A and B are shown apart, each in its own frame.
Chain A
């Protein structure tokens, strides 16, 4: 019995201390539970439907065909372009990425139905990384000799893990991560990031809330900051700190990197309440945000709260949520693109395509991200064809030559030429919780938009020199 006790104690102590100590960037750095469940499993290949296509491409010109250079992933004879998709479909972000994939699939289904890329059908070759860096690298190695480009790469550490290989192999990848480092020319040689980075998002919202309080007559508002560790949490926390510095705001509590999923985060909420901050910036996920927020407001604390997009879950303002009224009172959210509830040519186009090709998929905002990723790749493939170079390197060069891509209102235009400061996306959408709209079914994510394509002067003036938070 004594032996059993000792064995058990030692095993538990070592295992669980290791688990507690592991900064666990993978777990901490990325969005977890911000959207409703996805019902889509991404198929390996998009199927061309029989409906009338919406966007018709010029059929492939045979003479032009003779002049097109190809190497991997483009078969001119078969009329096929193969694209790799390194996605987390069943891991911690499976719900979110499943929606992104559904958007990607619907977009390419429509393009294929319209004749594809100059007569060539685009086939998406999915791999489910389950949010494992090892799997990500493994599947990259498996696909790099089969596809012309990677249309999706989920996760910052995952994309970092293949970055050098991408450069060595000369292949393009579209990352699903808003890390500010992707704006660094030293890191993004083979990537086409899109959307405002976490760091810029934080500057915008901190600036916006500062202005709201000043307009209400609050002199010298103060701020409390708390975040996950890792690229997501700390990139965002640094952005909030830079914003506070630029506005002369005192940081009365700094819990950057202190929020750890799976640990007791109530003390952080208590400390924020004790700080008496006027503004609270939290970069976490919905579950841990709730722990911090719940602990703070249970002490009677009131402030303007905000945080990175992945903080948000419609569950926070669901009819049976105990904190829905408090959240509706306190919270200001953001999103990197136009939410589906908005009416613009892009969202109308998206709604129509989703109704045609994926009517079973709930229209939740991450579908928009799928369209954005697909539109970037579409533009790159078109340019590569026009350049007569559909090799892996040719597609990469084509993507990097995009001067302006218009997402029809779904997102701010992006450019991949010029310096880092010119390319850096600085616009976000600012939102407020809307429990009534959620209950009425008019806003599936429970938000309403209060600012579109917004840039605060401190974000506009920010001179990008390197990543706000450097990944080690």
Chain B
């Protein structure tokens, strides 16, 4: 309580202080990174595949959401429902479609590669990225596709900082998804996925349908990527999904490595750390001495610094091999 009092007092000394603004902005960005990183980690954890098409999944997922919510106006065209409820149904519909997309991609592109060298499989995901991005960029065009979210440009004044309603929604959704993912890994299917991640052959011998586990992992990964893509495409960051939404996933890579490539907890911690570090660097390390774009380097410096100390990331699994 005392600490909270002093923090609030410090922040209140400067109304809308740059520090508070930077931290909130960083946490908001970090939440998006965390969502993207979690999806990436779940796919990697279950299948050992480094998914370079994760940005494309985020972009396509956000584009599908815009399509369902705006172009199809579902369910608004059939039912007169409150905006928040209507938009939530649109998003849930889009998430189902995104999950199906993930399953389809895994079945078409990745399943035939099971047992092949992981480097080759990673290259396949690069190919998937090019295919998906080419198609979705063509559909999106030069202007953004609106998400038509119910919050618009509404903000909440917390006294020491102003936060957009979309950012509050983003925090709530992210926490809920983290809890859901944690619960999933304690479920029967989640345990099967952990077993598959540990040893695919042993899991198969125990009767686990490894192919189904791969499909589920890609479905969850696509859903998390879509949620990240949606929140990266709304106010105050954007006014809709652009094709460059995919860059968010590439910017999330340091968070993934920093947290540990196979750790969901690491993805969350890494995402938030990188987001805050990037925002603080953007706010305070902008002296001409640093040159332009220095804040974009900070996440990678942070990542390299952590890897020097912990080569597997903060929460990554250390694996010892007999030489």
Contacts and interface: CB of A to CB of B under 8 A. Distances in A.
The answer to whether A and B belong to the same complex is yes
Interface of A: 1-2, 4-6, 8-9, 12-13, 16-17, 19-21, 23, 32-37, 94-96, 229, 255, 257-258, 260-271, 273-274, 286-287, 290-291, 294-295, 297-300, 313-316, 318, 320-323, 325-326
A265 B164 CA distance: 16
A33 B142 contact: yes
26 contacts: A2-B312, A6-B311, A9-B304, A13-B304, A35-B142, A96-B142, A229-B292, A258-B292, A262-B244, A262-B296, A264-B25, A266-B29, A266-B237, A267-B295, A271-B283, A273-B16, A290-B144, A294-B236, A297-B236, A299-B162, A300-B16, A313-B142, A315-B144, A320-B70, A320-B148, A322-B234
A264 B236 contact: no
Contacts of A21: 293, 296-297
Contact of B235 (A6, A19, A32, A298): A298
Given A20-B300, A264-B251, 15 more contacts: A5-B312, A23-B292, A32-B142, A37-B142, A258-B292, A260-B296, A264-B29, A266-B29, A267-B279, A271-B18, A286-B144, A287-B244, A313-B143, A321-B239, A322-B152
Contacts of A1: 319, 321
B240 to A, nearest CB: 7
A12 B244 contact: no
Interface stretch (B108-116, B201-209, B222-230, B253-261): B253-261
A271 B143 CA distance: 27
Question: In this complex, which of A32, A36, A262 has the most chain B Cβ atoms within 10 angstroms of its Cβ?
Answer: A262
A294 B151 CA distance: 14
Contacts of B319: 1-2
Most chain B beta carbons < 10 A, residue from A261, A273, A315:
A315
A4 B303 contact: no
Contacts of A23: 292-293
Given A287-B244, A320-B148, A315 B16 contact: no
B251 to A, nearest CB: 8
A36 B143 contact: yes
B155 A298 contact: yes
- Top 3 nearest A-B pairs by Cβ distance? A267-B282, A294-B236, A20-B296
Contacts of A266: 25, 29, 236-237, 279, 282
Contact of A314 (B50, B143, B282): B143
Contacts of A295: 25, 236-237
A287 B21 contact: no
Given A37-B141, A299-B21, A2 B311 contact: yes
B237 A315 contact: no
B283 A267 contact: yes
A271 B281 CA distance: 12
Nearest to B66: A320
A274 B21 contact: yes
Contact of B286 (A9, A255, A287, A318): A255
Nearest to A93: B142
B234 A257 contact: no
B293 A268 contact: no
Interface string B236-250: 111110101001001
A316 B321 contact: no
A160 B100 CA distance: 48
B157 interface: yes
A320 B261 CA distance: 38
Contacts of A12: 253-254, 257
